[in-house]
Amino acid sequence: MHRVEYNSITFSYITEFKKGSITAFGHFYDLFYIPLSFFAEQIILDKPAAEDVVTDVFIKLWEKRGSFNTEENIKAFLYISTKNACRNILKHKSHIKKYEESTKYPIYQEDLVLDKILFTEVYWTLYNAIEKLPNQCQNVLKMSYLEQMKNQEIADKLNISINTVKTQKARALLLLRKKLGNKHLMVGLLLWPYFVQLINK
């Protein structure tokens, strides 16, 4: 039932987007702008430039709005266009030098770009799943894995018992495990502080 509802809503947005609906465009902008900016920044190492790249890519998406039939088509177009735009920027020698000194890899190594796409997808899948958790589960999980706080410290800060902290943490992990699976959940939680550091710098 949920799958049918989701597909129906998504199809409605795509249909309206193709007709020129600003509301539908806003839906896809809200869905992909932040992860695409994060992705672009990992390639060109320049947050303002990355945001400019993504803005231009969304303009191209709007201009080609009649060409897309699924959300996956839109997502693929956005990532490929962002990747290509970033590569064009990296053709300037100053950007090439900065990139290669930072990563120790040449800029046109395709595997690295694919890794960055996966890196972005893991983070935003985890982020969206955490944001949908009940408030107390969400707070406990963030304090535990992001702020690296101990159970007693969390209990003191939230004015709850340590058993409640343990229960809420276990509940949060169970809900996330059902949503993401064990592998993606553990990788995401291990990298979460690094993700947040990157996105906030």
CATH number of the domain where residue 132 is located: 1.10.10.10
Radius of gyration, alpha carbons of the chain? 20
Task: Return the half-sphere exposure (C-beta side, CA atoms, 13 A cut-off) of residue 186.
Answer: 3
Phi and psi of 20, rounded to 5°?
A: 100, 25
Chosen domain end from 45, 72, 107: 107
| One domain, residues 143 and 184 | yes
Mean pLDDT computed over every residue of the chain = 77
Chosen domain end from 107, 125, 152: 107
Structural domain including 177 reads 109-201
Residue 81 has pLDDT above 70, yes or no: yes
Phi and psi of 147, rounded to 5°?
A: -90, -5
pLDDT digits (tens, 9 = 90+) for 105-115: 454 455 556 66
Residue 195 has pLDDT above 50, yes or no: no
| One domain, residues 27 and 100 | yes
Find, among 141, 122, 121, the residue nearest to 133 by Cα. 141
| One domain, residues 133 and 95 | no
| One domain, residues 117 and 102 | no
| One domain, residues 95 and 121 | no
pLDDT, residue 25, reads 92
pTM greater than 0.85:
no
pLDDT digits (tens, 9 = 90+) for 40-73: 888 888 888 899 999 999 999 999 999 999 888 9
Residue 158 has pLDDT above 80, yes or no: yes
Work out how many domains the chain is built from and give that number.
Answer: 2
CA distance 73 to 172: 32
Chosen domain end from 60, 91, 107: 107
